[in-house]
Amino acid sequence: MLSLDNVFDEESFLAFNKRVQDRLKSTENVIWCCELKLDGLAVQHSV
């Protein structure tokens, strides 16, 4: 699985997209699905 690493701008994402297309040996556009990921979420309940 390829990792996005630290992609924070369009140029970095386009470079990642090109690496994926090159690996797939595809000339078609890749369709992406993105989901929000929450890490370290904590909930505290006080009475």
Residues serving a catalytic function are: 37
Residue 43 Cα distances to 29, 35, 37, 38, 47, angstroms: 41, 21, 16, 13, 13
| Whole-angstrom Cα Rg for the chain | 17
